Chains A and B, each alone.
Chain A
Amino acid sequence: MPTINVTTESGMNAKKFALWLFIVSIVMIFASLTSAFLVRRAEGNWIIYDLPSALWISSFIIVLSSASMHWAYVAAKKNNFPTAGKAIVVTLLLGLSFGYTQFMAWSELVDQKVFFAFANPGGSFFYVLTGLHAFHIITGLLYLLVTWYKVNNNKISSKNIIQVEMCATFWHFLGVLWLYLFVFLFMYH
């Protein structure tokens, strides 16, 4: 059941294009939340806390995972699917450890007595931003899993390249999104 029609007037791949639109809508969610953060912060009555040190580690991990994802993409382009599969597994593991480090960051905050609920929104915003990003990381991990499965089981290589390419786009986006949130939190926590 191919669900995508052939492209006609323009040469773009419809699936890739839809992915970009999906990314735009995620950008809007985070843009609105960070704007809400700034608007609320400007009103005062706002707690200050130390940014958890685990965030530096998680940022490093997610940059690494982007690199390994790029490795998968390059390998797929060269029709070297066994290597691409391995690189995807590496990305998956790095993604999981990113999630774990984020969780560590939450515990660090709890140790500082900065809570999600029954507390100043300054702290709650931190949990919402990181939590919502973590939710997207989980969807990204599922996407990686599906891609890994297809790369291992699918014989048609051109289809695989698009699959890996789209997965890489989404994963890089999640990385960039995290770096944005990290810089944002670094500046305004």
Chain B
Amino acid sequence: MATLDIHAHTADTHDHHDEHEHEHHEQGFIAKYIFSEDHKTIAKQFLISGLFWALIGGSFSAIFRLQLGFPDANLEWLKPLLGEWIQNGKLDPEFYLALVTMHGTIMVFFVLTAGLSGTFSNFLIPLQVGARDMASGFLNMLSYWFFFISSVLMFISLFIETGPASGGWVIYPPLSALPQAMSGSGLGMTLWLSSMAIFIVSSLLGSINYITTIINLRTVGMTFTRLPLTIWAFFLTAIIGVLSFPVLFSAALLLIFDRSFGTSFYLSEIYIGGQALHNMGGSPILFQHLFWFLGHPEVYIVLLPALGITSEIISTNSRKPIFGYKAMIGSMMGITFLSFIVWAHHMFVTGMNPFLGSVFMLLTLIIAVPSAVKAFNYITTLWRGNIVFTPAMLFSIGLVSFFISGGVTGIILGNAALDIQLHDTYYVVAHFHLVMGSASFFGFLAGVYHWFPKMFGRMLDEKLGYIHFWLSFIGIYLVFFPMHYIGIAGFPRRYYSFTSYEAFSTFGDLNMFISIAAITTLSAQLIFGFNFFYSIFKGRKSTQNPWSSNTLEWTAPIIPGHGNWEGDIPHVYRWPYDYSKPGAKEDFIMQNVPLSQTPESNLPFEKDLALEEK
């Protein structure tokens, strides 16, 4: 860290410090790449770990889609991979539940929370607000390594004999609390809870750092109304994290006590094989309240960073200022606030008071307002823009599409009366995979395509990017659109097989279609995997500002060193969206260009500001 101040010193007394400086830059391999305190390295660690988990979580869905689409198929060929989980050419039913559970857990927490927020908050916050590093590089490093330990525990749980946690990613007790309920509620669940407790610590350390950095370490001139929307999104995401993850910790702690210490917070009057358990007086609904108090904000922890990334990319590649900058901030604040008071809409069928249900319904439907504001702002930014179709831009537009088509079904599900019919059917699965899963994952991919040059100094291949986009975009709609019909037909989620019920004999071919589409879409992600790792080493060299973007990270060297800028940190004189400003020489003016240098394009109020600069 001592390197941070070195550049400033060497500017005037260069020759004296030459040797000295050299010493400081020679970090060992471990300090530089493993236990690094540099936010850019930590971001890449989160990115690679996130991709690794995405591969695992994605493969799990391929396996259970095989079971759902082809219930009669002989899966003996998977035996080398799954071993005893394949019995007589059939997937073990308990393992099917484990696959579904782990797919959800991995995707929600490890890929779209750690992989998305961890990568881009770490990478972009210091670079875009103009800071040398995070407020505390040490805590930031701890945040990654706690995540790593948590990952290792979760990974180990995949290989134990009784199988990983299988009670669904929401781990409702008593199913998750009693090892007698299912084999996955034994050691697998213990590992799940330990892993998540450590994950929460990691997430809190990260969030505290992000908020502190954004509030305290902005460069001169970077006021809150000049922050890029990415930073606003990361900021609000971190606030949600600090407020909601501790509640999941409480929920998990009480569950740990129930499972291992004999308390009865969630368990009551349970008989197993005619034998009464000792537990008296617990309330399983209590767990659901605690869980969903995190669980619902978690949706926005996943989605907001993707929306922030999209705002930035759409504005840059439409060559237009973002439409409604302050409305965007306001709607994100609205979403943040509302996300804490709608959790019970996941619990309409728990027998809650119908009046309370209608209160939560009303609050839930209000979320449609800020969400619609965001969707309209994206579309109006694109409207009559001078659009550059980079792969990142395509993925951002794809996000807007998923956000709308998935969001509309949210209005349907938010109605208590309709939800009671559709609860726990594939309609819900289709809804959240579009609006939260696919949209956030597209935001993640858009971010990788857009900031890859800044991360690795090279470009991702565009042609492969286009192929990747179209296969994913069409594929995802082919998977999740038909799923709505299956849900309306009443197919419950998490069922191993539908062949034994006469009522569900109708949609067998549609399930097969979905499975084929899903596996094709997942295979298309391998194109991205190849592109990513190939381009790190062999990609085309990037220029300093390949997308002609305005934000501060593009003023740093192509591969920024530890400390980000050589010499002084740039000052900021304008908001980040001066694209195609009337009268300007070029179609973009970077944030560090003083108003006094652009008299030809200044607006009336900026002329006064320009005078003040001198």
Residues of chain A at the chain B interface (Cβ within 8 Å): 1-5, 7-10, 12-15, 17-18, 21-22, 24-26, 28-29, 31-33, 36, 39-40, 43, 45-46, 116-122, 124-125, 128, 132
Interface flags for B564-590 (1: CB within 8 Å of A; 0: not) read 000001000000000000000000000
Q: Report the Cα distance A45→B243, complex, angstroms.
A: 31
- CB < 8 Å: which of A18, A24, A36, A117 contacts B262? A117
- Least distance between B242 CB and chain A CB atoms (Å): 5
Among B307-337, those with CB < 8 Å from A are none
**With A8-B217, A43-B283 as contacts: A14 and B135 at CB distance below 8 Å:** yes
Min CB distance A185 to B, Å, is 17
Q: How far is the CB of A189 from chain B (nearest CB, A)?
A: 15
CB pair A5 B246 closer than 8 Å: no
Are A24 and B243 in contact, with the CB atoms below 8 A? Answer: yes
B147 in contact (CB, < 8 A):
no
User: Which residues in B have their C-beta under 8 angstroms from that of A40?
Assistant: 265, 283, 286
**Segment with Cβ contacts to A, from B116-124, B151-159, B219-227, B547-555:** B219-227
> Which B residues lie within 8 Å of A3 (CB)?
1, 37, 136-139
Residue among B130, B131, B219, B263 with most chain A CB within 10 A:
B263
Measured between beta carbons, the chain B residues less than 8 angstroms from A8 are 130-131, 216-220, 569
CA A36 to CA B283, docked complex, whole Å:
10
User: Which listed residue (A28, A31, A118, A128) contacts B242, Cβ 8 A?
Assistant: A28
- Is B216 a contact partner of A2 (Cβ separation < 8 A)? no
The 10 closest A-B pairs by CB, nearest first: A117-B262, A9-B218, A28-B246, A32-B247, A14-B135, A29-B246, A14-B216, A32-B250, A21-B208, A124-B263
B263 interface neighbour in A14, A22, A116, Cβ under 8 Å: A116
Contacts of B30 in A (CB 8 A): none
Bound together, the chains give a CA A10 to CA B214 distance in angstroms of: 10
Q: Which residue of B lies closest to A43 (CB)?
A: B283
- Whether A117 contacts B289 by the Cβ 8 Å rule is no
By a beta-carbon cutoff of 8 Å, the part of chain B in contact with chain A is 1-2, 4, 37, 130-133, 135-139, 204, 207-209, 211-213, 215-223, 242-247, 249-251, 253-254, 257, 261-265, 278, 280-283, 286, 289-290, 293, 569
The residue of chain B having its C-beta at the shortest distance from the C-beta of A45 within the complex is: B281
Alpha-carbon distance A7/B135, docked complex (angstroms): 9
Report whether A4 and B136 are in contact in the complex, using a CB–CB cutoff of 8 Å.
Answer: yes
A110 to B221: give the CA distance in the assembly, Å. 61
Q: Is the CB of A25 within 8 A of B242?
A: yes
Taking a contact as CB atoms under 8 Å apart, the answer to whether A17 and B215 are in contact is yes
> Chain A: interface secondary structure?
helix
In the complex formed, the residue of A with least CB distance to B247 is A32
- The reply to whether A18 and B135 contact each other, CB–CB distance below 8 Å, is yes
- Tell me, in angstroms, the Cα distance from A122 to B204 when the chains sit together: 30
**B249–A29 touching, CB < 8 Å:** yes
Contact call A120/B283, Cβ cutoff below 8 A: no
A21 touches B242 (CB 8 A): yes
Residues of A within 8 A of B217 (CB): 5, 7-9, 14
Q: Which residue in chain A gives the minimum CB-CB distance to B287? A: A36
Residues of A within 8 A of B139 (CB): 3, 18
B281 lies within 8 A of A17 (CB): no
Q: CA–CA, A9 to B217, complex, Å?
A: 6
Q: How far is the CB of B89 from chain A (nearest CB, A)?
A: 45
Who on chain A is nearest to B263 by CB? A124
Most B CB atoms within 10 A — which of A13, A117, A121?
A: A121
User: Contact check: which of B209, B221, B289 meets A18 at CB < 8 Å?
Assistant: B209
Residues of A within 8 Å of B253, CB to CB, are: 128, 132
Q: Which residues of A contact B283 (CB under 8 A)?
A: 39-40, 43, 121
B193 to chain A minimum Cβ distance, whole angstroms, is 16
| Chain B positions within 8 Å of A14 at CB level | 135-136, 212-213, 216-217
Whole-angstrom CA separation of A99 from B37 in the bound complex = 36
Evaluate contact between A36 and B286: CB separation under 8 angstroms: yes
Is A121 in contact with B265, judged by CB distance below 8 angstroms? Answer: yes
Using Cβ atoms and an 8 Å threshold, which residues of chain B touch A122? 281
Contact, CB under 8 Å: A121 / B282? yes
In chain B, what residue has the closest Cβ to A12? Answer: B216
Please determine whether B281 and A121 come into contact, CB atoms closer than 8 angstroms: yes
Whether A32 lies near B264 (C-beta < 8 A) is: no
A33 to B130, CA, bound (A): 39
Shortest C-beta distance, B275 to chain A (Å), equals 15
Nearest Cβ in chain A — how far from B199, in angstroms?
14
